[in-house]
Amino acid sequence: MTMTPEQIELVRKSFDGLWPVRRKLAKLFYSRFFELAPESRRLFPDSMEKQNLKLMDALAAMVGALDQREMFQAIIMHSARQHAQFGATPSQFAAFGEALMWGLQQQFGPAFTPELREAWSTLYETIQCKMAGTRGA
């Protein structure tokens, strides 16, 4: 699925707004993810402080490269290889996406319009397809 230029702009602007609250958002997000996929918890370190920032930095890199096709692919493929080693499964990727969308909804509230939701979910599908697709089910 390809994002339209309008969707890229929507994701970018909204991500800028999230940056100041990225720690809080990542915390919220991972707590939801571990509820949805409890078996994933043991794959992560006890303290999630660093991971929270790593996730947000990775998202920033992806969002920043949305209009540079080759750079975007390279970032995703790098991440895909890492996650194949971590043993992340397609069903965990689905839970991850659900947690992400839920976290964004919590953060934006009514500002999470259907258009904004659609833009983020298209982005996540693109990432998920490439990252989870490198492994079998």
Which residues of the chain form contacts with ligand HEM (CB under 6 A)? 40, 43-45, 51, 54-55, 58-59, 79, 82-83, 86, 88, 92-93, 96, 127, 131
CB of 135 vs ligand HEM, minimal distance in Å? 11
**Distance of closest approach, residue 23 Cβ to ligand HEM, in angstroms:** 15
The Cα 73–Cα 78 span in angstroms is: 8
Instruction: Rank residues 47 and 110 by Cβ distance to ligand HEM and give the closer one.
Output: 47
State the nearest-atom distance from the C-beta of 79 to ligand HEM, in Å: 6
User: C-alpha 41: how far from its chain's center?
Assistant: 17
| CB of 11 closer than 8 Å to CB of 66 | yes
Which of 110, 136 has the CB closer to ligand HEM?
A: 136
Residue closer to ligand HEM by CB (options 100, 110) is: 100
Please identify, using beta-carbon distances, which residue of 74 and 110 lies nearer to ligand HEM: 74
Contact status, residue 33 vs residue 95, Cβ threshold 8 Å: yes
> Which ranges of 1-137 would DSSP assign to H, the alpha helix?
5-18, 22-36, 49-64, 69-86, 90-108, 114-132
66, 80, 93, 116, 124 from 75: Cα distances, Å: 10, 9, 17, 23, 14
CB of 134 to ligand HEM, least distance (A): 12
